Amino acid sequence: MRGCATDGVVAWHRTLRKAFHSFCSPTSCIFGPNLPDVWVPREHTPPHTLFPESLQWANNGHNALILEGKPIAKQIKLEVADEIRRMKSGIGKFPRLAVVLVGDRRDSHTFIHIKLKACDQVGIETVTSQLPENCDESELLDVVSGFNEDPDVHGILVQLPLPQHLDEEKIINVVSPEKDVDGFHPLNIGNLAIRGRKPFFVPCAPKGCIELLLRHGVEIKGKRAVIIGRSKIVGLPTSLLLQRHHATVSVLHAYTKNPEHITSEADIVVVDVGVPNIVRGNWLKKGAVVIDMGTNQVKDPSGHGFCVSGDVCFEEAVKVASAITPVPGGVGPVTISMLLSNTLDSAKRAFGMV
Amino acid sequence: MRGCATDGVVAWHRTLRKAFHSFCSPTSCIFGPNLPDVWVPREHTPPHTLFPESLQWANNGHNALILEGKPIAKQIKLEVADEIRRMKSGIGKFPRLAVVLVGDRRDSHTFIHIKLKACDQVGIETVTSQLPENCDESELLDVVSGFNEDPDVHGILVQLPLPQHLDEEKIINVVSPEKDVDGFHPLNIGNLAIRGRKPFFVPCAPKGCIELLLRHGVEIKGKRAVIIGRSKIVGLPTSLLLQRHHATVSVLHAYTKNPEHITSEADIVVVDVGVPNIVRGNWLKKGAVVIDMGTNQVKDPSGHGFCVSGDVCFEEAVKVASAITPVPGGVGPVTISMLLSNTLDSAKRAFGMV
């Protein structure tokens, strides 16, 4: 985002947004344009020096643009609700999501509550199956299989993590890939990884990350993207999706020797590590776009109870980055709306509408 | 590989090899050790300057170690042949590979000939189905389905590329993932991508790349690895596999703005782009390990006919790298031996031997 006086940034965003929407059809947007790799033999060129572009990207003393997730989530929910209303009045059908919850984890119950409420707001019917902490694996498999075979269920969400005695891999494998609204099934991950293919679903948090970037007009093609963290739920699929958008992707993890240096070269930084404030302001190139996907429970500085903090030291990063997500209120709300959009897509496929 | 006088390099390789084999069991080696990511909050550290380690990695004027593939391929073939002999005498069974060839491409016929000959050398039975260039898609699907259902076929190889009128994605999807010895099925790619999971098969060229590195004692964990090229056959799965070995992976492609700079930071460089000599000596950090997976037909400099050339300018790279694969004779022979090992593994699974 060059020319970074605030008006210039906003104007640049509008230009990018127009350019982007004329570039690819809405249905291909989430995977990026399917461009061939045409390599051109290169002349002898010396190595780049660090930060040639960032000098132009300097945020000129302005704080970063805050990439608010709530307005985007709200917009997406309106779009989904509208489509479901038309589906109901048109063909008398609607999407149904099955939710499977095992055990008593407080955070899991909270997340499920948020998801069910969001479904209710947009017109997605839900059916919940709750199993005790010590349930047999066969019970859980039966529940999932039942939802697989139910033609009136379009999405199946098994809330993770599962109790330790259950084989999470086996459970995820059993969910039908065509109802795997979380996008965790290896068939969906494989089809996400392979350029030119389309999975039935993209995992919600990575999909939300891309929506945040695209809807704020952030250019991805040709940019250096660094993903810090490689979880199967966030880091891995986000890296695959950014690569589909033709970013040059580097994935950092706990065995990376110099994450600060590599991160300092990134135009786009996505963090999901689970350590509060691990990414400091001096890790970042001036003008970088920062997507903080961390959700850490930390003691509230006021001394009363707990609050949610990201993996990025916001106070430092906001002075360096050109744009940054807040925590909470960044990727989180958009992630939930992606679950709604995934469930709707599944129903549309089931009804032969796509 | 520090301390790079030749004897020192050889001694370092021996040390690494011992350390590696005591680190993980043979069956887990191809996926690397399954290590958890334990992040430690970092103190404020300034960004690294470029090349601090390479000054220690300088190859001191010695040419790079040539990572010959033929001796490794020979060794792997001996191991496979030995295991098949014992299988035949022990349980009276042996692996069988089905090979499907469509059309008249000369290179495809050559590759199939090489693969069938290798199978014959180690005791893998083969059955070949040859279809004309203009065959119907349904004919090809029937052939593949037939092999899927045949309990005496343990591996199915559909030689790519297919004629343009055939839907390659559909054909690959139909091959049973449990017989997909090329490892291209999205289920296998997905299970390769997700840490902690195991695909039925790893694609042969990436698997060969890792075997070359491991058998030469090259340390992967914690190293910067740059993969230039992101094809589904080579670049993509190689990047996933190196990440499983805890390298810090960056994937470059035709939309990468400064591939020379990023490559210059890599300890391990893997190239598969299809452009002869695109990677020059000055792209490389002193002491880098270079795996050239390119196979380009170029005019023989002698003026007679054609020869095979890699994607790396060997004459320049050999003076900078600490180790480099030749083309031909590097990854190619090992790739073929990986097909044999994949087919054997499939038979062992079918016979309940693993």
Q: What is the pLDDT of residue B103?
A: 96
Reply yes or no on whether the pLDDT at A231 is more than 90: yes
| Mean pLDDT computed over every residue of chain B | 86
Q: Does A11 reside within a domain?
A: no
Residue B43 near residue B300, CB atoms below 8 Å? no
Which residue out of B43, B201, B255 would a mutagenesis test of the A interface target, given it has the greatest number of A Cβ atoms within 10 Å? B255
Q: What is the pLDDT of residue A299?
A: 80
Average pLDDT over every residue of B292-311:
85
| Mean pLDDT computed over every residue of chain A | 86
Q: Does B285 reside within a domain?
A: yes
Give the percent of chain A with pLDDT over 90.
77
Residues 153-182 of B with CB under 8 A from A: 169
pTM over 0.80: yes
A115 catalytic? Reply is: yes
Using pLDDT thresholds of 50, 70 and 90, give the confidence band for residue A222. very high
Residue B238 near residue B229, CB atoms below 8 Å? no
Residues 203-222 of A with CB under 8 A from B: 221-222
More confident residue, A297 or B112: B112
Which among B191, B178, B184, B188 is positioned nearest to B162, based on CA atoms? B184
Q: Which residues of B touch A57 (CB under 8 A)?
A: none
Q: What is the pLDDT of residue B232?
A: 92
pLDDT tens sequence across A24-79: 333 346 666 666 666 655 443 333 333 334 333 444 566 899 999 999 999 999 99
Q: Does A179 reside within a domain?
A: no
Reply yes or no on whether the pLDDT at B2 is more than 50: no
Helices vs strands, H then E, count in chain B: 12, 11
- Structural tokens at position B323: 């180790």
Range of the domain at B311: 65-69+202-334
Using pLDDT thresholds of 50, 70 and 90, give the confidence band for residue B60. low
Average pLDDT over every residue of B277-295:
95
The shortest C-alpha distance from A45 to chain B (Å) reads: 8
Chain A contact present for B280, CB below 8 A = yes
Q: What is the pLDDT of residue B45?
A: 36
C-alpha distance across the termini of chain B, in Å: 35
Q: Does B41 reside within a domain?
A: no
Instruction: Give the span between the Cα atoms of B304 and A240, in whole angstroms.
Output: 44
Which among B249, B258, B257 is positioned nearest to B230, based on CA atoms? B249
Q: What is the pLDDT of residue B306?
A: 79
More confident residue, A196 or A55: A196
Which residue out of B35, B38, B39 would a mutagenesis test of the A interface target, given it has the greatest number of A Cβ atoms within 10 Å? B39
Q: What is the DSSP letter of A311?
A: S
Residue B111, classified by CB atoms within 10 Å of its CB into exposed (0-12), middle (13-18) or buried (19+), is middle
Q: What is the DSSP letter of A260?
A: H
Chain B contact present for A284, CB below 8 A = no
DSSP characters over B66-118 = E--SHHHHHHHHHHHHHHHHHHHHHHS---EEEEEEES--HHHHHHHHHHHHH
The three-state secondary structure class of A44 is coil
Q: What is the pLDDT of residue A309?
A: 87
Average pLDDT over every residue of B167-172:
96
Chain A contact present for B290, CB below 8 A = no
CATH code of the domain containing A217: 3.40.50.720
Using pLDDT thresholds of 50, 70 and 90, give the confidence band for residue B181. very high
Reply yes or no on whether the pLDDT at A291 is more than 90: yes
Q: Does A188 reside within a domain?
A: no
Chain B contact present for A234, CB below 8 A = no
Residue A283 near residue A319, CB atoms below 8 Å? no
pLDDT tens sequence across A148-188: 999 999 999 999 999 999 999 999 999 999 999 999 999 99
Instruction: Give the span between the Cα atoms of B272 and B234, in whole angstroms.
Output: 7
Q: What is the pLDDT of residue B54?
A: 37
Q: Does A318 reside within a domain?
A: yes
Average pLDDT over every residue of B43-70:
55
Instruction: Give the span between the Cα atoms of B140 and B223, in whole angstroms.
Output: 43
Using pLDDT thresholds of 50, 70 and 90, give the confidence band for residue A13. very low
Q: What's phi and psi for B291, nearest 5 deg?
A: -115, 110
pLDDT tens sequence across B73-122: 999 999 999 999 999 999 999 999 999 999 999 999 999 999 999 999 99
pLDDT tens sequence across A302-314: 777 878 889 999 9
Q: What is the pLDDT of residue A297?
A: 80
Reply yes or no on whether the pLDDT at B148 is more than 80: yes
The shortest C-alpha distance from B285 to chain A (Å) reads: 11
Reply yes or no on whether the pLDDT at B169 is more than 80: yes
Domain count, chain A: 1
CB atoms within 10 A of CB B177: 21
Q: Does B294 reside within a domain?
A: yes
> How far are the Cα atoms of A11, A69, B286 from residue A209, in angstroms, in the given order?
22, 10, 37
A159 catalytic? Reply is: yes
Reply yes or no on whether the pLDDT at A192 is more than 90: yes
Instruction: Pick the residue from chain A with its C-alpha nearest to B41.
Output: A278
Q: Does A15 reside within a domain?
A: no
